[in-house]
Chains A and B, each alone.
Chain A
Amino acid sequence: MTIVALIKQVPLTSEVALDPKTGVIQRESGETKMNPYDLYALETALRISQTHGGKTIALTMGPPQAEAVVREAFAMGFDEGYLLTDRAFAGSDVLATSHALSQAIRTLGQVDLIITGKQTTDGDTGQVGAEVSEFLGIPCVAAVQQLLEISETSITATSDTGTTLMTVRVELPALIAVDKDIHQPRLPSYVRMKQTEKRQVRRITLADLPDTDRTHYGLEGSPTQVVKIFPPESNTDFALWTGVDIPGRLYEYLQKEKFLQELA
């Protein structure tokens, strides 16, 4: 089985300030890390390959320095790594990014399972996995909490839809987006880091992709228009109640604000 994990390099801290006038994100430093949600994708891939055999491939898209997250995947135990990088990809939105990633996956030969994290801590859309699967025309299971069964031809997983737990079986090849805490991610190994120091992270550029039409990538290929960026409103209002029948008042308040629901 060949498993591809999609990973991304993100800023070290997700607490970024916005310039109140320009709306531009102010990052204190250029420090980066692996998107924490991707660690669950990597761990899931490694566990499947350890129990079912096969090859693990890490794929990221980003500037040349994003190679660091692929090296980190090596230190966690991944076999191969690819960096999808080209100036033509700069400014890609979710759609253009998903298209580029799906194109890159097509260059990797037979792929049985693609695993992503739930979302990234910088973009936060949580849509790349689903869109990649759409471009590839393969099934997608999102919010995977648990893998129940894996065979050569299918995978059965529990997906948390928010209100319902759904058990799904899909034919391979397929894409799954795993939830946080599906497994405890292992830490990168110093020994593996040293062993893989010289292992090549292969570069994939626009010229290597089946679709080389520049207008499908980067700013040109991105229909998303960012009109305005602003920090979310925060509300720290509170009320202090004293006196009698506080539980009764609280119950009425919660009911009025529709926080309570009658049990069926």
Chain B
Amino acid sequence: MPDTPVTTNTGNLALRTLESHDIEHLRALVDDPKRIIVGNAIHEDYSHDELHTLVHAPEVLIEAVSTAEISAIMRYASAKGIAVTARGQGTGLVGGAVSLHGGIMLSLQKMNKFLELDVENMLLTVEPGVLLMEIAEYLAPTGLFYPPDPGEKSATIGGNISTNAGGMRAVKYGVTRDYVRSLEVVLASGEVVEVGGKVAKNSSGYSIKDLMIGSEGTLGIITKATLKLIGQPKVTVSLLIPFPDLGAAISAVPAILKVRQVPTAVEFMQREVIEAASEYLGRPFPDNSADAYLLVSCDGPTRRIVDESVDEIAQVALGHGAIDAFLADTPERQLSVWSTRGTFLEAIKASTSMIDECDVVVPRNEVASFITFSYELQAKHGLRLMSFGHAGDGNLHIYALRDDLDEATWTTRVEAVFAAMYDRAHAIGGKVSGEHGIGFAKMRYLASSEQEPTIRLMQAIKRAFDPQGILNPGKIV
């Protein structure tokens, strides 16, 4: 919430407000004056992320173009105690890329080059500003494939790595962390390190690379990433499976996950959200006969192999109360289903005045009970909720909708509902964030759901990387 008291992790040194001589010095470090924007000239977009729940403008925006440049900027920032917030496309949902303490915002959008496709080792090296959709487009003709598939395709790979983004194919292929082989990182001091490597295995000490993944710009600035690729699956078929209600749909998931070939995706969706998305897109959904659906995808090398999985999954679903199983087996049919699924967040946003989100991950067998619990909260607190998510990995996206509530009522209700949801998630063995990260918005829930020694360790890690607390201050811990 915008008016929530700010807690910071600024270490021992107080963060400084930039003065004119700082700006002059920074101008000297950036060779093109157009890439350094100061004060009111900075576009309003750079003061918030996708959700607008945290709004704060940086004092200076630098559109970085090289590791050397970022290194020089970090050397100056650490010498002078100036906050630095890295930002990709600003598509985050938890305020991670908002410069809460002003200072310098480093936009990495212009560092968007493909550096190397190593076909033999099946590795792709990119700059952090490359977009997820550009990676898919780049790899399409090569026969190689980068599996992570977060819904926001216009996000940068740097942002994806910084939040350890998940996405729809996590059930079979895992998340971003599973596909990062090495990173080039500019540390708070300005030193440049390469962590990880082109190797397939690595037991060489603490994995700094893995600490960097999901660190949301608080431990260093990622300036290059080498990603692991796999062979492109040749055939994908999706099944849209209608159920009489969400409980029945979710109950079928464990059995569906036990089939011989693991599905790539198992999403759940409900009529209300589908209707909002259809209205938003101006295109009807191919089926509207049921209250709840599972959307399951299978991929593989041949249609025959995929059809075997499809057959097995359909039989299992029908045995667990599914009404039918509809086949989306051509690009057009898949588009008719997945384009609706892909627009849920935008559609929910468009259906109300403001939203806030809860991205909990719970054990898979608790998904249905958690959604039921959220409905009870909706009625109890008078706050409209809409949800969808990844049934296959227990990651739920539950959105609170402000509608016409006044600021105070909205804040009170959303805090009460979210506190109850995070408490419940914690009680059943869940975690605060499945894939969107902690940023600023979920800090208090992280603090209350992790054990105190764990939080202390996280704080110590932060201090080890960034003793002055200049990197994205006020985030995570």
Contact = CB atoms under 8 A, between A and B. Distances in A.
A187 B240 contact: yes
| Chain A interface main SS type | loop
Given A187-B240, A191-B318, A191-B324, A36 B330 contact: yes
Q: Report the contact-size class of chain A (Cβ under 8 Å from the partner).
A: 20 to 34
Contact of A186 (B239, B310, B326, B330): B326
A187 B333 contact: yes
A189 B286 contact: no
Contact of A187 (B283, B284, B314, B328): B328
Contact of A188 (B283, B284, B303, B327): B327
Interface in A167-204: 181, 183-193
Given A75-B327, A184-B285, A190 B239 contact: yes
Interface in B166-210: none
Contact of A184 (B310, B330, B336): B336
9 contacts: A12-B331, A39-B332, A187-B326, A187-B336, A189-B324, A189-B325, A190-B310, A190-B326, A191-B324
Contacts of B325: 189-191
Interface in B280-314: 283-287, 303, 310, 314
Nearest to A187: B326
Interface of A: 12-13, 31, 33-34, 36, 39, 75, 181, 183-193
A186 B326 CA distance: 9
Contacts of B287: 186-187
A185 B286 contact: yes
Interface in B124-172: none
Interface of B: 239-240, 283-287, 303, 310, 314, 318, 324-333, 336-337
B330 A33 contact: yes
A36 B332 contact: yes
A188 to B, nearest CB: 5
Contact of B330 (A12, A75, A189, A191): A12
Contacts of B286: 184-187
A13 B235 CA distance: 12
Contact of A31 (B303, B324, B332, B337): B303
A191 B303 CA distance: 19
Contacts of B303: 31
A234 B303 CA distance: 33
Contacts of B283: 181, 184
Given A185-B286, A190-B314, 11 more contacts: A12-B330, A33-B330, A181-B283, A184-B284, A184-B336, A185-B333, A187-B336, A188-B327, A190-B310, A190-B324, A190-B326
A187 B318 contact: no
Contacts of A12: 330-331
Nearest to B326: A187
A-B interface, 10 closest residue pairs, ranked by CB to CB distance from nearest: A187-B326, A190-B325, A184-B284, A190-B314, A36-B332, A33-B330, A188-B327, A191-B324, A187-B286, A189-B324
Which of A12, A33, A190, A191 lies at the interface centre, i.e. has the most chain B CB atoms within 10 A of its CB?
A190
Nearest to A37: B332
A70 to B, nearest CB: 16
A39 B239 CA distance: 18
Which of B287, B318, B326 lies at the interface centre, i.e. has the most chain A CB atoms within 10 A of its CB?
B326
Contact of A34 (B285, B324, B330): B330
B322 to A, nearest CB: 9
Which of A34, A187, A188, A189 lies at the interface centre, i.e. has the most chain B CB atoms within 10 A of its CB?
A187
A225 to B, nearest CB: 33
B267 to A, nearest CB: 16
A193 B329 CA distance: 13
B149 to A, nearest CB: 21
